[in-house]
């Protein structure tokens, strides 16, 4: 019964629903086995967080896991060992020599202070060519590279309970996006509105046969307007879903589970627009002429409380008789049965009083606040990829039905503004934002970039390094401290700095 429930509600947890599961893209099958850049030795994977599921396959996962870092860092075996050193926490960036990242993008990262055995963040930066799959007229498409599209891609993946999901997503998510865009190549290059239907393929009803249509005239008379921009957003959303499904299928196909889960923050630049897709607690902001423009929001048990409570209310079997979907200011005590206590449910933003009943003594679905907020007392993020084997601590109750793989996608039109070389898009995992405010990031942008010539391509790497160093702090008093003596970030920290202006930056 529980499996049927999980299948039925797998997409209810998203913000807008989704289509049923689809098979993986054909050219991704072999890609899953591509080996990552790894250190010569193969250490054990980090221990699973309490409540991360059954340990039946833990030894198998450990045997397969290896420490890897983004290939664009070009780390030598010695460099990999330094990157894995919790004591020194040396900042890693791509080398100045040789080929730079697209758009002269800056990147920097640092390992955690001992939170997990390895750095569980991963990153990807690619230029991806998309060749159209079919012509919208139905005529065969002649191979012609000039008819395709290129998109620029940046991705940050913050792993938890192991680095397997983050590593897999860093290798494959952009390929899923490419597959989803193949049907759109010709459509996106045509200024006319997108067609309602693509040409029929073998095995589907012919367009001349209207017997398969129901109420076609009424539908046509009230057809919604669909923009090219919304097609790209839909392609990115579907790619996230397919990536999550592929992680779920990995155990069946290769006999082992993908380790842990990950938050995913992705940027796609296509045809003059920047698409920022976020599922998790990483964040992105644009700093433009000193102005701060948020390009994402965090998805946590607090920010998605009402969505989680609604699902628990509609599908109480997912709570397993162990949790209540209601929220109280604190855990209800048995001695308070019959008294009236403050509460709120899935419909409420404020608080009201209710009489405490026996069911209210169960543990709340959403508990804690701030960084300590948890779903089912286990996980502190509510969107991301993976986590298919995540269970409540000391229980077989799955948490995945409450976690959504669908991102929120925000769009920024680069063609609407004149950008200068100091205008940047900053992406960071939560290791940056936990100790650094948006205003502090903007101040660092101004301070660092003003010290470099506008045409110096190394300025963005220097900025990424400054942001990472500022969040990490310096070793002092048996910990990492910021200049104000507050604790620095002990988490993995990864930062991309993408310039939005300057010569050749997006031409």
Of residues 286 and 476, more confidence is placed in 286
Would you state the pLDDT for residue 67?
80
Could you read off the pLDDT of 140-176 as tens digits, one per residue?
A: 555 554 579 999 999 999 999 999 999 999 999 999 9
Compute the distance between CA of residue 490 and CA of residue 479 in angstroms, rounded to an integer.
9
Mean pLDDT over 65-69 rounds to 74
Per-residue confidence band for 394, with pLDDT thresholds at 50, 70 and 90: confident
Could you read off the pLDDT of 218-270 as tens digits, one per residue?
A: 555 677 889 999 999 999 999 999 999 999 998 667 666 788 999 999 999 99
Would you state the pLDDT for residue 132?
87
Would you state the pLDDT for residue 9?
39
Compute the distance between CA of residue 342 and CA of residue 360 in angstroms, rounded to an integer.
12
β-pair partners for 450: none
Could you read off the pLDDT of 434-454 as tens digits, one per residue?
A: 999 999 999 999 999 999 999
- From start to end of 280-402, where are the E strands? 283-288, 291-294, 323-324, 340-343, 352-355, 363-364, 366-367, 374-375, 385-386
| b/e burial code for range 313-345 (CB count within 10 A of at least 16 → b) | eebeebbeeebbbbbbeeebeeeeeeeebebbb
β-pair partners for 273: 270, 413
Would you state the pLDDT for residue 66?
60
Is the pLDDT assigned to residue 501 strictly greater than 60?
A: yes
Is the pLDDT assigned to residue 214 strictly greater than 50?
A: no
Would you state the pLDDT for residue 135?
61
Is the pLDDT assigned to residue 506 strictly greater than 80?
A: no
Range of weakest confidence among 38-47, 252-261, 470-479: 38-47
Per-residue confidence band for 380, with pLDDT thresholds at 50, 70 and 90: very high
Would you state the pLDDT for residue 125?
97
* Residue written as token pair 């910021």: 482
Mean pLDDT of the chain: 84
Tokens of 292: 């701060």
Tokens of 65: 């896991």
Would you state the pLDDT for residue 402?
98
Could you read off the pLDDT of 337-363 as tens digits, one per residue?
A: 999 999 999 999 999 999 999 999 999
- From start to end of 321-471, where are the E strands? 323-324, 340-343, 352-355, 363-364, 366-367, 374-375, 385-386, 408-413, 424-428
Is the pLDDT assigned to residue 191 strictly greater than 50?
A: yes
| Number of neighbouring beta carbons within 10 Å of residue 498 | 28
Per-residue confidence band for 139, with pLDDT thresholds at 50, 70 and 90: low
Mean pLDDT over 463-471 rounds to 98
Range of weakest confidence among 23-27, 82-86, 160-164: 23-27
Tokens of 160: 């938890």
Pairing of strands 385-386, 261-270: antiparallel
Could you read off the pLDDT of 262-311 as tens digits, one per residue?
A: 999 999 999 999 999 999 999 999 999 999 999 999 999 999 999 999 99
């Amino acid at each position: 019964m529980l499996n049927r429930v999980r299948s039925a509600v797998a997409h209810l947890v998203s913000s807008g629903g989704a289509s049923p599961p689809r098979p993986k893209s054909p050219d991704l099958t072999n890609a899953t086995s591509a080996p990552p850049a790894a250190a010569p030795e193969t250490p054990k994977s980090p221990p699973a967080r309490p409540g991360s599921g059954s340990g039946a396959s833990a030894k198998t996962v450990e045997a397969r896991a290896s420490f890897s870092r983004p290939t664009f860092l070009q780390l030598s075996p010695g460099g990999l060992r330094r990157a894995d050193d919790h004591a020194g926490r040396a900042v890693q960036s791509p080398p100045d020599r040789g080929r730079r990242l697209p758009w002269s993008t800056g990147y920097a990262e640092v390992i955690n202070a001992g939170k997990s055995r390895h750095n569980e963040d991963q990153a990807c930066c690619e230029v991806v060519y998309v060749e159209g799959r079919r012509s919208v007229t139905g005529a065969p498409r002649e191979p012609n590279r000039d008819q395709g599209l290129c998109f620029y891609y940046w991705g940050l993946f913050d792993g938890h309970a192991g680095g397997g999901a983050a590593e897999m997503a860093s290798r494959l998510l952009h390929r899923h996006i490419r597959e989803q865009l193949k049907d759109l190549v010709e459509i996106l290059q045509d200024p006319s509105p997108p067609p309602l239907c693509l040409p029929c393929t073998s095995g589907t009803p012919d367009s001349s046969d209207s017997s398969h249509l129901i109420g076609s005239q009424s539908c046509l008379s009230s057809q919604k307007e669909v923009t090219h921009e919304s097609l790209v957003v839909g392609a990115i959303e579907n790619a996230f879903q397919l990536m999550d499904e592929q992680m779920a299928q990995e155990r069946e196909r290769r006999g082992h589970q993908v380790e842990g889960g990950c938050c995913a923050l992705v940027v796609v630049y296509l045809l003059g627009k920047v698409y920022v897709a976020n599922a998790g607690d990483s964040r992105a902001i644009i700093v433009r002429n000193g102005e701060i423009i948020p390009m994402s929001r965090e998805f946590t048990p607090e920010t998605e409380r009402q969505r989680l409570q609604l699902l628990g209310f509609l599908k109480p079997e997912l709570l397993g008789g162990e949790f209540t979907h209601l929220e109280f200011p604190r855990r209800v005590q048995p001695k308070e049965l019959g008294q009236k206590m403050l509460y709120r449910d899935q419909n409420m933003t404020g608080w009201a009083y209710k009489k405490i009943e026996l069911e209210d003594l169960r543990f709340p679905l959403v508990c804690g606040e701030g960084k300590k907020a948890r779903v089912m007392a286990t996980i502190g993020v509510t969107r991301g990829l993976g986590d298919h084997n995540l269970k409540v601590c000391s229980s077989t109750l799955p948490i995945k039905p409450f976690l959504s793989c669908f991102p929120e996608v925000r769009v920024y039109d680069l063609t609407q503004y004149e950008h200068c070389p100091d205008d940047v898009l900053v992406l960071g995992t939560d290791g940056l934002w936990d100790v650094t405010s948006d205003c502090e990031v903007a101040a660092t942008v101004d301070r660092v970039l003003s010290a470099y010539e506008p045409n110096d391509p190394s300025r963005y790497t220097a900025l990424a390094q400054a942001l990472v160093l500022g969040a990490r702090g310096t070793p002092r008093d048996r910990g990492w401290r910021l200049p104000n003596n507050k604790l620095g970030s002990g988490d993995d920290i990864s930062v991309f700095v993408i310039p939005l202006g300057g010569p050749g930056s997006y031409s």
